A and B are shown apart, each in its own frame.
Chain A
Amino acid sequence: MLNQLRTLLKENYHIDDISTETNIKTDLGLTSFDFINLIALIEDTFHIEIDEEKYHSINTVGDLIKYIEDTKK
């Protein structure tokens, strides 16, 4: 999962240095609009729906992986 996210971030944002601790909102240089676009990309890639009310609880790459895994179950 981490590798898939790495590929997605590298292809779309030229970011390749991430770990589960990386904070998506503050460490990647994304604006709030970029963050929302990233959510859309993740939804398309992993075929899931991310509820916008949950955005505030997704901060790190680890949070995102957990959310994707929980949703896909």
Chain B
Amino acid sequence: MPPEACLRATYNFRSEHRAKPANEENRRFSECCTADMEKQKMKKEKHMPPSDYDVVKYENFHELLKGIYDNYSERTAIRFRKNGKETSISYDALIRQISDLYYFYKKNDIQNSNIGILSENRYEYITIYLAGVFENVIAPIDRELTVDGLASLIEKFDIKVLFYTDKTKEKADALPQKDTLRRINIDAAYQTITQEHYDPDAFFKDTEHTDSHKFSVLAFTSGTTGIVKGAMLSQHNIVSNLRAPLLYMHLESPMLQLLPMSHMYGFHPDLLSPLYNGDTVCINMALKDIAKDFKYYNPYYIGVVPVMLEGIYKNIIREARRQKKEKLLYGLIKLSNGLRKCHIDIRRPLFQNLINKRLRIIVCGGAFLDPVYVDRFEEIGITVLNGYGMTECAPLISVNRDRNNIRGSAGAVIEGTKVKIADDGEILVKGWNVMSGYYNDKEETELSFVDGYYKTGDIGYLEDGILYVTGRKKNLIILKNGKNFSPEAVEKKLLRLPYVKECLVMADVRNSTEIIIAKILLDGNADNQDKACNDSGAGQLKKDIEAINRTLPSYMRIDDFEIVSEEFEKTSSQKIIRSRYTLPTENTIQKDEKQKEL
């Protein structure tokens, strides 16, 4: 379990700077879809307007930066604490530093280059990124990568400049020495490279003719296959995506930024969207300080992945237990729930000190979210809005609205994006947010599109314009009788058992009979293991699986289970690499036959 690995994802790269989308149809769509999309959305979502809030529209980073400079110059853009000292950066200062860096790149012949950023979350990440997207391509790199992984990524994706920090220096220094790679230590050089000041008006003039469809960001994605691919994103992909969540939720300053900036979700909707809105972003410099930062910054909203959301809730309960107020807390929740039925809402005065006084909205994405947590937070007055996205889609595809939060769904499809469901249930996406293709990988790009739509690899369905994601297509268990289902649907039931830490559900064949088995890793706590396995001789786990089976159609029921002793192998974003443990369904028969032969 690598530290903070739950929040990390790997990403990647590109080839031509003036990127012509590999998929022409997608580009044409992207250029003319506004009116079309609005009509379609209005048709489909009769009960929902296309947006709930008015948000100015920018097409590229030039327009965005000029807009926030003109409108919010005096406001605070960024706050962060380092060694106990707070720094506050205004929008004016932010734009000035971006402008200075833009000319640093120009004067030092850093143009038409892929610039990698290997860094922890910090203020400078923002300026390096935003100054670099105009004449270069920015490639955020997961700092959990091994030195070999990093070296191969730099080679494969033509990284010419690498920004690193004192914290990532060890890895940067261990890379093979090559003249083709220019390395810049942010801690050592940032002040120097921004010491020459330039007028932001000159910067805006020089970037005035920015091509919105220029390939500007190389976002790495390894998925669960382990092969790193580089999604090529244009400024229009990204900037239109930054606006999307603002149309559907009311956000106020400040927001607390927690997710890794190398993660598309952590940087785009989580950090750049608030800046688009003129809000203040407080940077959490280390996740261990999360509780202190909640109190110090008093944020109105945060963005998280499910494991963090669950962790925050568990912390609330743990703290109540530590103060011997657990029963009181549950009693107050019960009382408040009862009063809410009578339209009396006393959640704020009752629960405002559980996390902080202002927190109202948590946006959650990145993996499956158990809807139970939407209810648990709602009970204490905090709205959890679940969304769905992919690196290849910059990343947002759909998100719940604060005025129409639908538990268990991935929300409404965002403006400028069209989702359709293929015959086999796969979610297909096209629109403003979809990448032009994978960097230097025509084959993979062609495989990833069908009729102009990006194939997400997820399965789901649309109901009244609301998207529901049910599982990964490649995980689908297809039975010999033609029935099929997503193992995730069964796994999420198992994961609700308090003593189950991880699990995988898969098909297997025994004695020529197809069966469904569950591999389960129990919570390491010895008490839990005893409860699971030794209760009344038969084991609580067996009883609980029988209870789960009663809630499932017969073809989804777990026939047998196996308790494993080690954690399942995972990707850097903490998704289990399922292929390491399962065989495609068609192979299970062959495996059974081979076993018989032996």
Q: Are A and B co-members of a single complex?
A: yes
B318 touches A13 (CB 8 A): yes
A26 touches B524 (CB 8 A): yes
Segment at the A interface, from B48-56, B281-289, B461-469, B545-553: B281-289
A46 at the interface (CB under 8 A from B): no
A34 touches B311 (CB 8 A): yes
A52→B2 CA distance, assembly (Å): 11
Q: Which residue of A lies closest to B529 (CB)?
A: A29
B574 at the interface (CB under 8 A from A): yes
A35→B1 CA distance, assembly (Å): 9
Residue from B292, B307, B524 within 8 A of A32 (CB atoms): B307
Most buried by A among B1, B4, B501: B1
B516 at the interface (CB under 8 A from A): no
A21 at the interface (CB under 8 A from B): no
* Residue numbers in B under 8 Å from A52 (CB-CB): 3-4, 286, 288
A32 touches B523 (CB 8 A): no
Smallest distance from the beta carbon of A34 to chain B beta carbons, Å?
Answer: 6
A31→B308 CA distance, assembly (Å): 9
Q: Which residue of A lies closest to B567 (CB)?
A: A26
- Interface size on B (CB < 8 Å)? 32
B182 at the interface (CB under 8 A from A): no
A33 touches B307 (CB 8 A): yes
A6 at the interface (CB under 8 A from B): no
B311 touches A31 (CB 8 A): yes
B322 at the interface (CB under 8 A from A): yes
Residue from B167, B287, B314, B322 within 8 A of A36 (CB atoms): B287
Q: Which of A35-71 contact B (CB under 8 A)?
A: 35-37, 39-40, 43, 50, 52-53, 55-56
Smallest distance from the beta carbon of A57 to chain B beta carbons, Å?
Answer: 10
B6 at the interface (CB under 8 A from A): yes
* Residue numbers in A under 8 Å from B289 (CB-CB): 40
Smallest distance from the beta carbon of B185 to chain A beta carbons, Å?
Answer: 16
* Residue numbers in B under 8 Å from A2 (CB-CB): none
A67→B2 CA distance, assembly (Å): 18
A54→B23 CA distance, assembly (Å): 45
B288 touches A33 (CB 8 A): no
A35 touches B3 (CB 8 A): yes
Residue from B167, B314, B322, B525 within 8 A of A15 (CB atoms): B525
Residue from A12, A29, A35, A36 within 8 A of B318 (CB atoms): A12
A25→B525 CA distance, assembly (Å): 12
B598 at the interface (CB under 8 A from A): no
Smallest distance from the beta carbon of A27 to chain B beta carbons, Å?
Answer: 4
B167 touches A53 (CB 8 A): yes
B528 at the interface (CB under 8 A from A): yes
Residue from B3, B308, B318, B528 within 8 A of A56 (CB atoms): B3
B38 at the interface (CB under 8 A from A): no
B526 at the interface (CB under 8 A from A): yes
B288 touches A37 (CB 8 A): yes
Q: Is the interface of A mostly helix, strand, loop or mixed?
A: helix
A53→B168 CA distance, assembly (Å): 9
Q: Which residue of A lies closest to B120 (CB)?
A: A52
A50→B2 CA distance, assembly (Å): 15
B6 touches A33 (CB 8 A): yes
Residue from A11, A17, A32, A35 within 8 A of B322 (CB atoms): A11
A5 at the interface (CB under 8 A from B): no
B528 touches A29 (CB 8 A): yes
A16-29: CB near B (< 8 Å → 1, else 0) gives: 01000000011111
A32→B314 CA distance, assembly (Å): 13
* Residue numbers in A under 8 Å from B1 (CB-CB): 25-26, 31-32, 35
A36 touches B288 (CB 8 A): yes
B587 at the interface (CB under 8 A from A): no
B5 at the interface (CB under 8 A from A): yes
Smallest distance from the beta carbon of B531 to chain A beta carbons, Å?
Answer: 12
A20→B4 CA distance, assembly (Å): 24
B328 at the interface (CB under 8 A from A): no
B310 at the interface (CB under 8 A from A): yes
A28→B525 CA distance, assembly (Å): 5
Most buried by B among A12, A36, A52: A36
Residue from B6, B287, B322, B525 within 8 A of A31 (CB atoms): B6
* Residue numbers in B under 8 Å from A55 (CB-CB): 2-4
Q: Which residue of A lies closest to B501 (CB)?
A: A29
B291 at the interface (CB under 8 A from A): yes
Smallest distance from the beta carbon of A29 to chain B beta carbons, Å?
Answer: 3
B3 touches A36 (CB 8 A): yes
| Given A40-B288, A52-B4, A29-B523 contact (CB < 8 Å) | yes
Smallest distance from the beta carbon of B116 to chain A beta carbons, Å?
Answer: 20
A52→B4 CA distance, assembly (Å): 9
A47→B288 CA distance, assembly (Å): 14
Smallest distance from the beta carbon of A63 to chain B beta carbons, Å?
Answer: 13
* Residue numbers in A under 8 Å from B4 (CB-CB): 32, 36, 52, 55
A28→B524 CA distance, assembly (Å): 5
B579 at the interface (CB under 8 A from A): no
A50→B4 CA distance, assembly (Å): 14
Smallest distance from the beta carbon of A32 to chain B beta carbons, Å?
Answer: 4
A37→B525 CA distance, assembly (Å): 17
* Residue numbers in A under 8 Å from B5 (CB-CB): 32
A31→B523 CA distance, assembly (Å): 10
Q: Which of B273-328 contact A (CB under 8 A)?
A: 286-292, 307-308, 310-311, 314-315, 318, 321-322
A27→B308 CA distance, assembly (Å): 20
A32 touches B567 (CB 8 A): no
Closest 3 CB pairs of A and B: A33-B311, A29-B523, A55-B3
Taking A25-B1, A32-B1, A40-B288 as known contacts, 5 extra A-B pairs with beta carbons closer than 8 A to each other, sorted by chain A number, are A31-B310, A32-B574, A37-B311, A43-B288, A52-B286
Measured CB to CB, the residues of A under 8 A from B are: 11-15, 17, 25-37, 39-40, 43, 50, 52-53, 55-56
Task: Provide 11 A-B residue pairs closer than 8 Å at the C-beta atoms, listed in order of the A residue.
Answer: A26-B524, A26-B567, A30-B524, A32-B2, A32-B3, A33-B310, A34-B314, A39-B288, A40-B291, A52-B4, A56-B3
